[in-house]
Structures are given as structure tokens and as C-alpha cells.
Amino acid sequence: MRVRVYRNLLKPSFFSIQAMEGPDKGKVVGYARAVGLENVTFVVSKKTWQRVVTEGVRTVFAFADGALVNCLEVLPAGFDERITLQPFERCYFFNRQRPQIPVTEAARGYLFGADFWGTAEPAGLGL
């Protein structure tokens, strides 16, 4: 199932999972500490991001869109590429090892903590 996943503003250690297809399309269908995704696209609404930065308004302006693999309580081993978003520094997702290069896609990985953890694959991880 294709989902949109974003950081829950009321419970920052959880992610909200929104269905993007099927009978629950557009609805939040669950919450998890670690969300596994495949064929991931990282999206930032620049207009909403500008409002967050200039007005200090907390709202969702970025998310990961992809195929849901599973939901866990902890990050599994084997993920070494760390993709993150720092809204008051940049308006795009980036690899922490190469912060000047925007990342828009990833083959697979997990949203956990404040980051997306992927494998070192060339597909969209800024390699």
C-alpha cells in the first residue's frame, strides 16, 4: 500500500502514516516509531516551509511517500545512510554526510527518530 509518512507534531517519537490509496485514502491509518518504506520520494512544500520559518508556525510541510513495508518499535540493523531535514537550515532532505546535495528519492529504508535510514544504494541517496 502506498502511504505518506510524516513526523507526528504532538508525539515527536512517532510517525503518522496516511493512506494514499484504497478505501482509507487521505486518512491517517496508524502511528509507529519506525516505518519501513520502499520506492521512497521525499517531498517538501516550499510555501508551507517558508511560513514555518518566517512565522514560527509548527505544521507538517515535509513527508516521505512510498510503499509501506512494515512498522516496528526500533530501527533494524544494516541501515547506514542517514537522510534528514533541518527546516531552519535547508528546505530539502539531505544526506548527513553530504549536506549540500538534496535527496529526493531512496530505494528503501526506515523513518526512525528524526531521520530516514537507508542503505548505501545509488538510487536517490545522493551518491
Is 50 within a domain?
Answer: yes
5-63 tens-digit pLDDT? 999 999 989 999 999 999 999 999 999 999 999 999 999 999 999 998 898 888 899 99
Q: Which domain holds residue 104?
A: 2-118
Is 125 within a domain?
Answer: no
Is 69 within a domain?
Answer: yes
> How many other CB atoms are there within 10 angstroms of residue 81's CB atom?
20
- Asked whether residue 123 carries a pLDDT value surpassing 80, the answer given is no
- Asked whether residue 113 carries a pLDDT value surpassing 90, the answer given is yes
Is 126 within a domain?
Answer: no
Number of domains comprising the chain: 1
Strand 15-19 with 2-7, pairing = antiparallel
